[in-house]
Amino acid sequence: MAHERQKIYRWESGRAVPGPSAQKAMAVLHDIPTHLLQTLPWPDWLATACKRAKGTPPYGDQAATVELLTDLAVGGPVDRREFLIMTSATLGASITGWQDALASLTSPSSTGRRQITASMVDHLEVRLDRLRHLDDALGSAQLRELGMAEFAFIVGLVKEARFDEPTGRRLYAAAAEAARCCAWVHFDDGYHAQAERFFDAALRASATAGDPLIGAYALSFRAIQHYTAGDPRDAVALVEAAQVQTKNKATARFRAMLATRAARSHSKAGDRRACARALHQARDLLSAGPHDDDPPYLYWVDLGEIEMIAGSSALQLGDPREAIRRFDAAIDANYAGDDQYPRTHAIYLARAADAHLALRDLDQAVAVAEHAVRCLGGVDSARSSATLEGLRDNLAEHRHVPVIRDFLDFTA
> Given this model, what pLDDT does residue 87 score?
75
Domain shared by 244 and 125, yes or no: yes
Mean pLDDT of 166-174: 96
Residue 305 resides in a domain? no
Q: Are 279 and 310 in contact (CB under 8 A)?
A: yes
Domain shared by 131 and 71, yes or no: yes
Does the pLDDT of residue 42 top 80, yes or no? no
Question: CA-based angle 25:28:31, to the nearest 5?
Answer: 150
Domain shared by 20 and 125, yes or no: no
> Given this model, what pLDDT does residue 36 score?
61
Domain shared by 211 and 65, yes or no: yes
Residue 68 resides in a domain? yes
Residue-wise pLDDT for 215-254, tens only, equals 999 999 999 999 998 899 999 999 999 999 999 999 999 9
Domain shared by 99 and 42, yes or no: no
Residue 260 resides in a domain? no
Q: Are 359 and 328 in contact (CB under 8 A)?
A: no
Confidence of residue 163 (pLDDT cuts 50, 70, 90): very high
The model carries a pTM of 0.84
Which domain covers residue 396, as residue numbers? Answer: 336-412
Does the pLDDT of residue 360 top 50, yes or no? yes
CA dihedral 33, 36, 38, 41 (to 10 degrees): -140
- Lowest model confidence (mean pLDDT) among 4-13, 112-121, 362-371: 4-13
Final residue before a domain boundary, out of 224, 249, 274:
249
Mean pLDDT of 349-367: 94
Q: Are 167 and 121 in contact (CB under 8 A)?
A: yes
Residue-wise pLDDT for 311-342, tens only, equals 999 999 999 999 999 999 988 887 666 667 77
Mean pLDDT of 86-97: 84
Mean pLDDT of 157-174: 94
Domain shared by 106 and 225, yes or no: yes
Percent of the chain exceeding pLDDT 90 equals 58
Final residue before a domain boundary, out of 249, 280, 301:
249
Gap between the Cα atoms of 75 and 260, Å rounded: 34
Q: Are 365 and 356 in contact (CB under 8 A)?
A: yes
Residue-wise pLDDT for 394-410, tens only, equals 999 999 999 999 999 98
Domain shared by 51 and 64, yes or no: no
Is beta strand 114-115 parallel, antiparallel or unpaired with respect to 161-162? Answer: parallel
Domain shared by 101 and 227, yes or no: yes
Q: Are 156 and 395 in contact (CB under 8 A)?
A: no
> Given this model, what pLDDT does residue 76 score?
47
In sequence order, which residues have a C-beta less than 8 Å from that of residue 339 and are 6 or more positions away?
none
- Lowest model confidence (mean pLDDT) among 184-193, 268-277, 295-304, 373-382: 373-382
Does the pLDDT of residue 384 top 90, yes or no? no
Average pLDDT, the chain: 86
Q: What is the DSSP string of 1-18?
A: -HHHHHHHHHHHHTSS--
Final residue before a domain boundary, out of 180, 215, 249:
249
Gap between the Cα atoms of 365 and 391, Å rounded: 10
Residue 269 resides in a domain? no
Provide the domain count of the chain: 3
Confidence of residue 359 (pLDDT cuts 50, 70, 90): very high
Helix (H) or strand (E) holding 114: strand 114-115
> Given this model, what pLDDT does residue 358 score?
95
Domain shared by 51 and 79, yes or no: no
Domain shared by 223 and 240, yes or no: yes
> Given this model, what pLDDT does residue 386 score?
82
Task: Supply φ then ψ for residue 250, to 5 degrees.
Answer: -90, 150
Residue 349 resides in a domain? yes
Residue 58 vs residue 287, higher pLDDT: 287
Gap between the Cα atoms of 249 and 138, Å rounded: 33
Residue 303 resides in a domain? no
Confidence of residue 81 (pLDDT cuts 50, 70, 90): very low
Helix residue ranges per DSSP H, 46-164: 47-55, 62-75, 88-103, 118-138, 140-160
Mean pLDDT of 363-386: 82
Q: Are 235 and 275 in contact (CB under 8 A)?
A: no
Domain shared by 352 and 371, yes or no: yes
Domain shared by 137 and 29, yes or no: no
Gap between the Cα atoms of 24 and 109, Å rounded: 38
Residue 297 resides in a domain? no
Residue 31 resides in a domain? yes
